[in-house]
Structure 1
């Protein structure tokens, strides 16, 4: 295979279902949809951990959270586990990051040959408040999500415009001054992550009254589950919404931010085309996780329902089937072997053999394999226990250590409104799903290890009271701003 440049575009908190090419007729995403038409769309794509820092560590390394131990937003990737950027840069490729990384800091040896406008975790420590899980604590910043809504500019939207400008300049420079070997660019945008404030031209695309109402807000039994009830108690974003208009404004703002994201992706792809590099470049678009957006009364990410754990995954470029839709389940750990595969066979053969994922280039070229198993897990803010998800064929199995599981038939019930875990008719499916999970990971041991690691970090930072006195912040500030602690 001829080596290719790689343009890897990542967004933050883009739910798979709020994209035109995934069947949403209300959202306007013409550039993402055009990319899908020109390439391959993975219909059943997932993150491996539905919160920023652990998800990005899996993306960097091609490994699951339990393999690498970056459990939460206070344990940022530091380069101690090799990733695709190390493999490419050490093989002589230019490997640039442009935008949000959410790693430890700019000095961590994460493998990039350059970092442009990087965003890293606060003080190299991140969200210490999220370590407190026994029990979790109600977070003062929860009120911010519902307070910052509607048309306007935010630090994040301005940051994304700057990232897009920098990416376009970088691509044009590669065309003017070609490298001997193919390059890789990781362009990482911050939107549609809250604050839910969108530039007016994109907000004006939507009538809040006509957008889909979040499902399950009137109760579907989800909060009867003790783990979900605890999460709702401590991640209490919904308590601060005052009525239907308020909720609809938040939904419209998110849709507008997705369209703003789409506009920036279009600008980057236009720069690639204008520089004459499209035919030599593999383009991958995905997100680090999704967003519940009010479904079942939850906002933000962190859950293992489709809205939060499902992500768009689109790939286009030389050798990629055009207009193909792949049913095989895939996840973000498949990205690392894909990038190494595209960059050069030497890198791929030496680095990717023991990774749990598989190159998307190979998956896109093969017949569908709906029985492939995908794993996600969660050990972070708001969770009172270790949470694990297995997706295979039509089934979604969610395992909670020491608590009852959930089981959904995603073919008959794509909205995950009917839990089948206690239905005797599905006992065999539940048993097979748990066996698949345990073939990959020991949930009890992993959950205990996560709690123990988090306790050590709590003690290293002066204990619970010291962390509480430090306060917490609603989201990581852009590189040129200071955190606003609550």
Structure 2
């Protein structure tokens, strides 16, 4: 534990593909502020979310537990405080803890561990995308191609919300009333989550014709894994029904949104420096999951590939090695012990699977460390589970053959080694690691049972399939920002 508690600033974006980051070696995207943060701190090159979709991922971030441990399976099951969060630990220890921006929990009234929520964004009407809980049969989303079609150069409610969240964060950091005691502040930004609409000055930074051609599109002869093909089957026409101009425009808009996010991150870090608190503040930048950005003919999240299940993760502050890259795999569940350790608070709740990133970053590379991801939400015909250990990653799909990749030799995951006899022992070892964490068949059964119960409460599959926002969750109105802050005594 830190002898002198640090302030902690956690900045979480939404849907940032970890490969689209200058510090990670991307030659096209412009992310000077993220790159500068990595230069003065440590970047975790193999970081993952606990579930590649917004609400379950954020519940795991809050609780430090996996979805199968908490039952927050999908985007209709928002975190409600029933499982203790790192915020509860901080409150119990008397630490000041506040949030600004998107949390995507159930609502602002639940006791989720914040003294104040500024500009909070949660599930619409507290119920979220009920249609995503319908898994038998999976409902089709015939509007899916619009994700790519409606893209380009424009402001949106999302970019305007991010500007307001950034303004509020900068004001909070520079307000001297907030300097009197150690604090933990969480800021949630929306970019680069779709809609793929980037403010004009950021869209114009990228020529659509210069966008990298995504790998492994079916039209190029790539045969998708049967589980992935079933997932794609409920998103009819996504990518395949879009023109090449639309795809490149959407990719340019995504890159523009990443640069817009970087601009807002820079503003926040500039405010922290101006406040005089940077030398005693641990800064963590990450995202809740990634985005396929056209790879394998898919956009958005939900898959176990690095583009979707991977996240950027950068940490800088007192005692953090500068210009360092940590090769030990990391997870968003590691933020629970990290935040508490930096704040000088000893956990009192049940054991968590994560490890403090402060310890991971300062230690030798742990090539045996296991990182775990699972998915049970929209489009999943069965539970999907990922195990990462060393250079190898296993994708285990209930009822389907597994996939196995060597990320050191094949970072784009082009060659499935699961059927290669030379890797039979590696496959068996990783399957055993998964079995030690959970029983995939039992977890899949439990997730579907919980979702069926929820669907029944909303009138059955036919009725439930029409309930919930069809796409992105709408941000809260910003007409009266002062009224948006929720002061909570939890």
TM-score by length of 1: 0.95
Which residue number in structure 2 is paired with residue 179 of structure 1?
180
Deviations 1:195-241 (A, max 9, x none): 00000111111111112111111457764532111111112362564
| 2:70 corresponds to 1:68 | yes
Identify the match of residue 412 of structure 1 among 404, 409, 412: 409
User: How far 1:278 moved relative to its partner?
Assistant: 0.1
> What is the aligned partner in structure 2 of residue 305 from structure 1?
305
Structure 2 vs 1, CA of residues 469 and 323 (structure 1 numbering), >3 Å: closer, same or farther?
closer
Match of 1:128 in 2: 130
1:453: which partner in 2? 450
Are 1:424 and 2:426 matched, yes or no?
no
**Aligned counterparts, 1:84-163, within 5 A:** 84-163=86-165
Q: 1:264-298 CA deviation, whole Å, 9 max, x = no partner?
A: 00000000000101001000000000000110101
- Any residues of structure 2 matched to 1:268-417 within 5 Å, and which? 268-344=268-344, 347-351=345-349, 354-417=351-414
C-alpha contact (below 8 Å) 1:329/1:391 kept by paired residues:
yes
Deviation at 1:260, TM superposition (A): 0.1
1:95/1:183 contact within 8 Å kept: yes
Is the Cα contact below 8 Å between 2:42 and 2:324 reproduced in 1?
yes
Residues 222, 296 of structure 2: 8 Å contact kept: yes
Is 2:13–2:287's contact at 8 Å kept on the other side of the alignment? yes
Instruction: Output the CA distance in 2 between the equivalents of 1:464 and 1:177.
Output: 49
Q: Verify the 8 A CA contact 2:22 2:31 in the aligned structure 1.
A: yes
Task: Output the aligned Cα RMSD.
Answer: 1.4
Taking a change above 3 Å as real, the CA distance of residues 72 and 148 of structure 1, as seen in their structure-2 partners, is same
Provide the rounded CA distance (Å) in 2 between the counterparts of 1:166 and 1:400.
43
Give the Cα separation in 2 of the matches to 1:461 and 1:122: 15
C-alpha distance in 2 between matches for 1:92 and 1:354 = 21
Change over 3 Å in CA distance of 1:96–1:237 after alignment to 2: farther
CA distance 1:69–1:383, change in 2 (3 Å): same
Confirm or deny: 8 A CA contact 1:14 1:312 kept in the other structure. Answer: yes
Q: Which residue of 1 aligns with 2:229?
A: 229
> Could you tell me whether the CA contact under 8 Å between 1:144 and 1:474 is conserved in 2?
no
Give secondary structure in 2 for the equivalent of 1:205.
Answer: coil
Counting matched residue pairs gives 476
Q: Could you tell me how far apart the structure 1 residues matched to 2:466 and 2:400 are?
A: 32
The alpha carbon displacement at 1:469 in A equals 4.2
Summarize the Cα distance change of 1:31–1:414 in structure 2 as closer, same or farther, 3 Å threshold. Answer: same
Give the secondary structure class of the aligned counterpart of 1:473: coil
CA spacing shift, 1:143–1:447, aligned 2, 3 Å? same
2:55 is matched with: 53
CA separation in 1, counterparts of 2:239 and 2:412? Answer: 23
Aligned to 2:485: none
The 1-side partners of 2:146 and 2:244 are apart by: 18
Q: Contact (CA 8 Å) 1:151, 1:197: kept in 2 or not? A: yes
* Distance in 1 separating the partners of 2:227 and 2:268: 41
Q: Please tell me whether the aligned partners of residues 4 and 342 of structure 1 are also in contact (alpha carbons under 8 angstroms).
A: yes
SS in 1 for 2:118: strand
Q: Which runs of 5+ in 1 are unaligned?
A: 482-486
Distance 1:167 1:283, change over 3 A: same
SS at match of 1:238: coil
- Aligned counterparts of 2:331 and 2:232: Cα–Cα separation in 1: 26
The SS at the match of 2:348 is helix
Say if 1:220 and 1:296, in contact at 8 Å, map to a contact too.
no
- Distance in 1 of aligned mates of 2:144 and 2:11: 29
Distance 1:240 1:399, change over 3 A: closer
Distance 2:33 2:222 in 1: 35
Residues 99, 88 of structure 1: CA spacing in aligned structure 2 closer, same or farther, 3 A cutoff?
same
Distance 1:469 1:364 in 2: 46
Q: If the length of structure 2 is used for normalisation, what is the TM-score? A: 0.95
- Residue aligning to 1:252: 252
Cα shift readout 1:299-343 (whole Å, capped 9, x = no counterpart): 100000010011100000001111111000000000110000001
- 1:453 and 1:311 map into 2 onto residues whose CA distance is 28
1:463-478 equivalences in 2 (<5 Å)? 463-470=460-467, 472-478=469-475
Whether the 8 Å contact between 1:237 and 1:298 is mirrored in structure 2 is no
**In the alignment, is the contact (CA less than 8 A) between 1:237 and 1:299 conserved in 2?**
no
Cα displacement string for residues 414-459 of structure 1 (whole angstroms, at most 9, x for unaligned residues):
1101101111111111000100111111101101000000000001
**Structure 1 residue 143, shift from structure 2 partner:** 3.4
Shift of 1:178: 2.5
> 1:33: Cα distance to partner?
0.3
Q: For 1:133 and 1:388, how far apart are their aligned partners in 2? A: 17
